[in-house]
Every structure is written in C-alpha cells, then in structure tokens.
C-alpha cells in the first residue's frame, strides 16, 4: 500500500485566524466564562435563529443538564422513562442514567434515526419524553416525532451533536424542540477542542441552566467583574449545580469556525453527492436517505454493507480508514435490558460504515474511497 492514507475525520482549522482569536483572550487576560463565551452564544443565536443558547464544556454536559432541568421543571421521578435510540454514541443514553431516568429503546427507520411508529408503540404511563438523535446531521422523521410528542404531551430533546448547520425548509435544527444540544467537539462540523451548546426554547430554563452549569451560583464571575453594583461577592448558591460552563478559549476557536460553517458544510454536501453518484445503484451497497426538504450538515456519509467488519479490513488494506457510527447500544452490558427490542437498529449496527468525509478530501480521494469500497464488497460480501 503506497498511496496516502485516507482517514475518517480530519478537522480543518483556520490556524492564523484562530490563533489571533486565542491571542486576544490571552492578551486581555480573560480565558474563562464570559467574554468570548457570551459573544459565541450571541453569534450562535444569530446564525441558527434559536432564541436561547448557553455555551458548555460538551454536548454530554448539555444533554445531562437538559434532563436535569426538564425533570425539575416537570417533577419527574426516578424510574420515569425516556424513549431513545440504540443507534447513537453512548453519551445520549448515559445522561438519562445520571438522572435516574430509564432509557426505553425504540427502533430506527431507513434514515437510521428514530422511527415514529416504533416510538408511538413504546409510549406508556411512565413515558415523559423522547430523545431524537439527528444521526450524521440527518433530521430523519424528526417532524413526525415532534408532532407525536405534542399530541401525547411529551417533552422532546434533540441530540443535535451532529447537526451544526442542518436546515430543514429554512429552519435550523432545534427550533421546535424543548431543548436542542449541539457538540463542538474536536471532529465535529464546527470543531473547537471540546465544547457544546444547550438551546432551550423557554427563557426561564435558559436562565436556570446558566446557574446549573456554574455550580448553582446565581451570578457568574464575568458579570460580577464587569457588571454594575457593589457587594459583588454577595451571590447566592441556589442548589448543587455542576461545573459545565464553557470557556473563552474554546469559544474563540468556535467563533472562527462558525464563520466558515456554511461554506464547509456546502463542501461536505458536494463530497457526499459525489459518493452518492459513484455508489448509486450498487446492489450490495445501501445508501442512507436524507430527510426531504433538508439541507443536512453531512457530519457523516454512511452506507450499509454485509460482512461489514471484513469489508473495513479490506478497505484498511487499501489505505482507507472508515468508522462505525454506531454499534447498537443494547449490545453493551449497560443497556442489555433493551436487547432484542430494536431489530432494525441491530441489523444496521452490523452493516453500517461511515466513509471518510472531511474538508481535506478532494474529488480523487472520494473516487478512490468509492472504488475501494466497491472492490472490498466484491471480495468480502459478493452476495
Ligand atoms: C450523537 C452524539 N451525542 C452526543 C455526543 C457527545 O458530544 P460531546 O463529545 O460534545 O460530549 C456525541 C459525540 O460524539 C454524539 O455523537
């Protein structure tokens, strides 16, 4: 194998611009909460049109706070249930356990996102909410699930970790959920090093989450330092909160990345369209349909093939290093209670492959990956 390796994810940072943005934080002496975190929150609200946004250390932290605040607001009890997908990163489901909520797994459809019919079947007397994951940036049948939640009086949390820059009919992902949580982790479409954003639809919950993310303290250090008034040390601590707020270095990196998000996602879609054209009609390679009317972020480009593990080994031999997003969570000891309840997710989990998709790929790279996949499938899963 002499050709250059093609990896799944390689983030692109505008290095000089990003270093200048970090430098500003260092020069003015403010690297923590406030300053650029506030600027980034404002920029994110303006870009997405979402009414509220609070910058955090990660999407995992955001999802945890989402459940904590909804449970508080609605008076949920330990043992109450949330319908969720087994085809996700474990963060999505771990945070339910942090709060004593029970993940009830529903199956996925051909978009690899939750299937509304399966969600409807799982609703029971203790169901309080649904968690929808926009896998790879695909909204799937999110809107049907939103309508179902409205009809049945359930809360809806959107795990939008992959959805920075996903639009549907001109609306950014998250606008109609009770809360949407985005990830700006190192390899996401809007990369920082590690950060996330929680976007509540209700103003009261946005105000609350700012305290919850800062140990329950009701006045942050930045407003105490820069705000009006005397006796700035006279803050109150309203409850035992968490140390989950983001910092200005991450926000400075993210502010630069946000300037390029639309352009970068458009390029991802171009590359994904090229994969689509090259793989269309292949009898042993199934592509994943995007939701109608959506302009997806294209965090992932996924296909389904038989003998997936062998196919990946064959791709590795050709210098192509794809990924698997994700293994059915009910395979993990933690979530065995859901085993056997989601056959389509299990089947997808055995067949799914994420092909390399990032901004350092060019057209010949995509052609090489697609050709390698076709060869690997012919060798390992000839049918
Ligand atoms: C679907 C999904 N949800 C949540 C997360 C957690 O994001 P973070 O790494 O920002 O905590 C990830 C991260 O990969 C993810 O893929």
Measured from the Cα of 63, ligand 1's closest atom is 4
Q: Please tell me the distance from the alpha carbon of residue 128 to that of residue 235, in angstroms, as a whole number.
A: 34
Compute CA distances 233 → 29, 223, 237, 294, 306, whole Å: 21, 11, 11, 48, 62
Measured from the Cα of 185, ligand 1's closest atom is 10
Which of 9, 84, 183, 246 is the pocket-test mutation for ligand 1 (most atoms within 8 Å of CB)? 183
Nearest to 85 by CA among 271, 256, 338, 298: 338
Domains and CATH numbers, the chain: 15-256 (3.40.640.10), 261-380 (3.90.1150.10)
pTM of the model: 0.97
Strands (E) in the chain, as ranges, are: 6-7, 54-56, 81-84, 102-105, 127-133, 155-160, 167-168, 171-172, 179-183, 196-200, 286-287, 294-295, 301-304, 320-321, 352-355
Q: Please tell me the distance from the alpha carbon of residue 238 to that of residue 217, in angstroms, as a whole number.
A: 6
How crowded is residue 73: how many other Cβ atoms within 10 Å of its Cβ?
Answer: 15
Q: Kindly give the confidence (pLDDT) of every residue in the chain, 383 residues in length, as a single tens digit, with 9 standing for 90 and above.
A: 568 999 999 999 999 999 999 999 999 999 999 999 999 999 999 999 999 999 999 999 999 999 999 999 999 999 999 999 999 999 999 999 999 999 999 999 999 999 999 999 999 999 999 999 999 999 999 999 999 999 999 999 999 999 999 999 999 999 899 999 999 999 999 999 999 999 999 999 999 999 999 999 987 667 767 766 656 777 889 899 999 999 999 999 999 999 999 999 999 999 999 999 999 999 999 999 999 999 999 999 999 999 999 999 999 999 999 999 999 999 999 999 999 999 999 999 999 999 999 999 999 999 999 999 999 999 998 88
CA of 62 to the centre of ligand 1 (A): 10
pLDDT of residue 268: 98
CA of 29 to the centre of ligand 1 (A): 30
Compute CA distances 379 → 275, 307, 376, 383, whole Å: 20, 10, 5, 10
CA of 57 to the centre of ligand 1 (A): 11
The SS3 call for residue 351 is helix
CB contact burial 324-354 (16+ within 10 A = b; e otherwise): bbbbbbbbeeebeebeebbebbbebbbbbbb
pLDDT of residue 101: 98
Measured from the Cα of 188, ligand 1's closest atom is 14
How crowded is residue 90: how many other Cβ atoms within 10 Å of its Cβ?
Answer: 15
Omega before 17 within 30 of 0, i.e. cis: no
pLDDT of residue 227: 66
pLDDT of residue 231: 67
Which of 11, 57, 84, 89 is the pocket-test mutation for ligand 1 (most atoms within 8 Å of CB)? 89
Pocket of ligand 1 (CB under 6 A): 58-60, 88-89, 91-92, 133, 159, 161-162, 183, 185, 196
């Amino acid at each position: 194998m002499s050709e250059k390796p093609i990896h799944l994810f390689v983030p692109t940072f505008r290095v000089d611009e990003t270093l200048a943005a970090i430098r500003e934080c260092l020069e003015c002496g403010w690297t923590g909460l406030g300053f650029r975190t506030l600027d980034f929150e404002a920029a994110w609200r303006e870009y997405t049109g979402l009414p509220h946004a609070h910058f955090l250390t990660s999407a995992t932290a955001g999802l945890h706070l989402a459940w904590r605040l909804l449970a508080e607001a609605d008076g949920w009890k330990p043992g109450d249930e949330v319908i969720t997908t087994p085809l996700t990163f474990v963060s999505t489901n771990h945070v339910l356990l942090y709060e004593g909520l029970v993940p009830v797994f529903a199956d996925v459809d051909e978009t690899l996102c939750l299937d509304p019919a399966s969600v409807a079947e799982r609703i029971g007397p203790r169901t309080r909410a649904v968690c929808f994951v926009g896998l790879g940036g695909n909204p799937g049948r999110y809107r049907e699930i939103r309508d179902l939640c409205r009809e049945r009086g359930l809360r809806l949390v959107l795990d939008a970790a992959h959805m920075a820059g996903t639009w549907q009919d001109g609306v950014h992902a998250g606008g109609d959920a009770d809360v949407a949580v985005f990830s700006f982790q190192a390899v996401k479409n809007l990369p920082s090093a590690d950060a996330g954003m929680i976007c509540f639809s209700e103003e009261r919950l946005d105000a609350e989450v700012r305290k919850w993310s800062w140990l329950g303290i009701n006045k942050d250090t930045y407003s105490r330092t820069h705000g009006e008034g005397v006796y700035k040390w006279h803050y109150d601590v309203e409850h035992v909160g968490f140390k989950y707020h983001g910092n200005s270095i991450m926000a400075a990196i993210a502010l630069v990345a946000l300037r390029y998000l639309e352009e970068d996602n458009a390029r991802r879609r171009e590359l994904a369209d090229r994969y689509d054209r090259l793989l269309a009609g292949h009898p042993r390679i199934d592509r994943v349909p995007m939701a109608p009317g959506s302009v997806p972020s294209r965090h992932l480009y996924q296909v389904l093939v038989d003998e997936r593990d062998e196919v990946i080994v064959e791709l590795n031999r050709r210098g192509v290093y794809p990924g698997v997003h994700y293994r059915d969570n009910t395979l993990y000891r933690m979530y065995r209670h859901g085993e056997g309840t989601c056959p389509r997710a299990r089947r997808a989990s055995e067949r799914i492959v994420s092909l390399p998709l990032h901004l350092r790929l060019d057209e010949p790279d995509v052609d090489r990956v697609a050709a390698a996949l076709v060869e690997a499938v012919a060798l390992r899963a000839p049918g």
